Chains A and B, each alone.
Chain A
Amino acid sequence: MKVALFIPCYVDQFYPQVAIATLELLEKYGCDVHFPKNQTCCGQPMANSGFEHLTQGCSDLFVENFTGFDYIVCPSGSCTLHIKEHLGVPGIAKKCYELIEFLTDVLIVDDLKVKFPYKVGLHQSCHGQRGLKLAQMSELNAPPFSKVERLLDQVEGLELVNLDRKDECCGFGGTFCVAEEALSVRMGQDRIADHLKNGTQVLTAGDMSCLMHMEGIIRREKLPIKVMHLAEILNGAEISVAEPVS
């Protein structure tokens, strides 16, 4: 299975450990993983700001880099959604998967064999949840499911924290985070407060952008929460934080 790794631009530049964890996870499950090296960005930051008409260059580059693979896998729901909804190339869109759904739906991972003995708070990133339907949405009168939780349930020792508001937006929102700085930060603070109140030791999500925003606040306010991408936990990262559960 020939898989192209689609790494969001900011993950490439700021969070290489997340990309490495994604790569190793896919390799662990037998994928032949390639990293098309001229990839840059999906174009979402421009498109969400109203500049979709400027993204042709990014789109062409994306198609050029990602043609000829069985699957395209990305550790971000938001970037994946952009490719699926706005790139306008059906052949690429149908091969493009967010990492979690690729693990549950294509690789059918049911025995992770990793340990993570901590209280983990899951942030449901909106684009992954409401856009890609990675988990049931709290607004709908429909049966619950969660692809992420199906994987986290397989992690030994991991205790998932119950939040007061399980799928409220963190306030990152792309350029919203600077255009509406005060509001964005306030939304992030409220999300973090929910995690603090309910005992989160490690805050995780499928999107590093939400986490980058919340980590920025956590570090500024010196709060006792560690931030990690889901790929790192699922790949068996070993960390040290105060008071493991068991």
Chain B
Amino acid sequence: MNHAELAENFIKDGERTTWHDETLWFVRKKRDLAAFQIPEWEALREAASQIKHNGLSHMHEYLIAFEEKATANGIKVHWAMDALEHNQIVHRILKENSIAEIIKSKSMLTEECHLNEYLIENGVDVVDTDLGERIVQLREEKPSHIVLPAIHLKKEDVGETFHQHLGTEKGNKDPQYLTEAARQHLREKFVSRKAALTGVNFAVAETGEFVVCTNEGNADMGAHLADVHIACMGFEKIIPERKHLGVFLRLLARSATGQPITTYSSHFKKPRPGQQMHIVIVDNGRSQQLGREDFRNSLKCIRCGACMNTCPVYRRSGGHSYHSAVAGPIGSILAPNLDMRKNADLPFASTLCGSCSNVCPVKIDIHDQLYKWRQVLVKEGHVPFGKKVAMRAMTFTLSHPGVFKTAGKMGRKMMGLAPFTVSNGLNPWYKQREMPAPPKESFREWFSKNRNGQ
């Protein structure tokens, strides 16, 4: 199903849609409150954007520098061309250590690479330790939001899921009770598992260290107890110098949830004695995106999710309607790079209102890129045939004033001219909306009668 159909299904539950919209709008308002307490907020955004710009422009040098430092610090650096190679590398590290059970903190990259499915197919048990991720994992769902993976669920839903999988009381939806149950369940995994996988928020070229931000401390708990720590990152996570964290850490949590900073911003620089630390640096289409001038800036993304929280479309269609690891406006400009045919609907799942670009802490021109992706997708032929015919007919009418006038006269009777109806036989406009009442004459007719035939 495409975004429009998935959104229509989501909206059928009107009350839940209202709840979802209001919940995310609340997060947007928290973001505003936090951001507006910083007088230099807009300057910070600009600085972050420029630092990322520098990073993208010197990606090769920074990655090499990072590898050199990280290796010197005792970290093993791996390079993965695509999702499969990434998954194979992770699996190989586990096999070499005879490990068949791992824990994992939040990493959108591993979602993008479908790592869980790959490991499970290869006999490895994976437990996600971020609370929201664990909830969706137990339900065999995908995260619906990059920061708030279970934001599509109400506490009743979580109560039912925990009742089924963790044996909590039926009908108990008390958040504290449910969180405690998850805590006990996860504690056992933290203590017993030998390998922990984490994501990477920032990788510092200058020092070879990387920073992982969580609110639950689950990445730290996993990494500090495990014999093997594997950190996976898309190559765009690189930042030039450690001091630049002073810009990004201020922006990240404020943009994401309205907190001044994430509860845990943990720096990993070298393995503990006896511990192994691996970093897998993944391309998976990023080089290609870096080469697309119009879309290059999308790689500045620091995965804060602010564009989702502000997006009037996302708030009313839910993250799953984007059928891609990263949902929302940013997902819609990243996904076509990975698979144009499969994700051709996503850049059209927007009104181009522009709110996303305004909240973006690294100033990605998201709505302009949505517009540009539309042009690319049409040219590459990923557009329904009917739409193509309609657009050609409309172009013909609108390029010929004589045709426009005649069609307008007839159209006001038949309502066939309006640009919003042409691509459709059955006119979806009318399903829930009245058509404009047709006036007796157009403005041009009125003008020639009333302004001396100018």
Enumerate chain A interface residues (CB-CB to B < 8 A).
7, 9-17, 19-20, 23, 34-35, 37-41, 43, 45-55, 57-58, 60-61, 126-127, 130-131, 137-142, 165, 167-169, 171-188, 190, 212-213, 215-217, 219-220
Contacts and interface: CB of A to CB of B under 8 A. Distances in A.
B36 interface: yes
B25 A183 contact: no
Interface residues of B, number: 81
A169 B310 CA distance: 11
Given A37-B448, A216-B434, A15 B420 contact: no
A55 B391 CA distance: 10
B38 A48 contact: no
B378 A51 contact: yes
A177 B353 CA distance: 13
Interface of B: 3-4, 7-8, 11, 17, 21, 25, 32, 35-36, 38-39, 41-42, 310, 312-313, 316-317, 348-355, 357-359, 371, 374-375, 377-379, 383, 387, 391-392, 394-401, 404, 408, 411-412, 417-421, 423-424, 427-429, 431-436, 438-439, 441-448, 451, 454
B358 A137 contact: yes
B354 A130 contact: yes
B395 A54 contact: yes
Given A20-B443, A139-B310, A178-B420, A185 B358 contact: no
A162 to B, nearest CB: 16
Contacts of A168: 312, 355
B436 A176 contact: no
Contacts of A212: 436
Nearest to B42: A141
Given A9-B398, A176-B348, A126 B434 contact: no
A50 B378 contact: yes
Contact of A45 (B399, B419, B427): B419
A139 B446 contact: no
Contact of A50 (B374, B392, B398): B374
A48 B451 CA distance: 34
Give chain A's interface secondary structure class: helix
A116 B451 CA distance: 27
B432 to A, nearest CB: 4
13 contacts: A13-B418, A14-B418, A49-B387, A50-B377, A53-B375, A58-B398, A137-B355, A139-B310, A173-B353, A177-B420, A182-B7, A183-B313, A220-B434
Contacts of B312: 168-169, 171, 187
B433 A217 contact: yes
Contact of B395 (A12, A39, A51): A51
A48 B377 CA distance: 12
A126 to B, nearest CB: 4
Question: Which 3 pairs of residues, A with B, have the shortest CB-CB distance?
Answer: A57-B399, A173-B351, A216-B433
Contacts of A10: 418-419
Given A131-B354, A165-B25, A35 B378 contact: no
A40 to B, nearest CB: 4
Given A15-B439, A16-B439, A178 B428 contact: yes
Contacts of A45: 394, 419-420
Residue with the greatest number of chain A CB neighbours at <10 A, chosen from B3, B355, B357, B377: B355
Contact of A40 (B41, B379, B383, B399): B399
Nearest to B448: A37
Contact of A182 (B4, B32, B39): B4
A13 B25 contact: no
Contacts of B383: 50
Given A141-B42, A220-B434, A169 B36 contact: no
Given A178-B423, A180-B4, A186-B11, A58 B374 contact: no
Contacts of A20: 443, 446
B387 A13 contact: no
A14 B395 contact: no
A160 B372 CA distance: 37
Given A47-B371, A137-B358, A167-B355, 6 more contacts: A12-B444, A19-B443, A20-B443, A40-B400, A41-B419, A141-B38
Contact of B374 (A49, A57, A186): A49
Contact of B424 (A51, A140, A178): A178
B350 A176 contact: yes
Contacts of B418: 10, 13-14
A141 B8 CA distance: 35
Contacts of B400: 40, 57
Nearest to A189: B432
Residue with the greatest number of chain B CB neighbours at <10 A, chosen from A38, A60, A167, A179: A179
A195 to B, nearest CB: 15
B355 A169 contact: yes
Contacts of A15: 436, 439
B387 to A, nearest CB: 7
B152 to A, nearest CB: 16
Given A139-B359, A178-B428, A180-B4, A40 B398 contact: yes
B429 A178 contact: yes
B399 A58 contact: yes
A111 to B, nearest CB: 26
Given A12-B408, A49-B391, A179-B4, A186 B354 contact: no
Residue with the greatest number of chain B CB neighbours at <10 A, chosen from A15, A180, A185, A187: A180
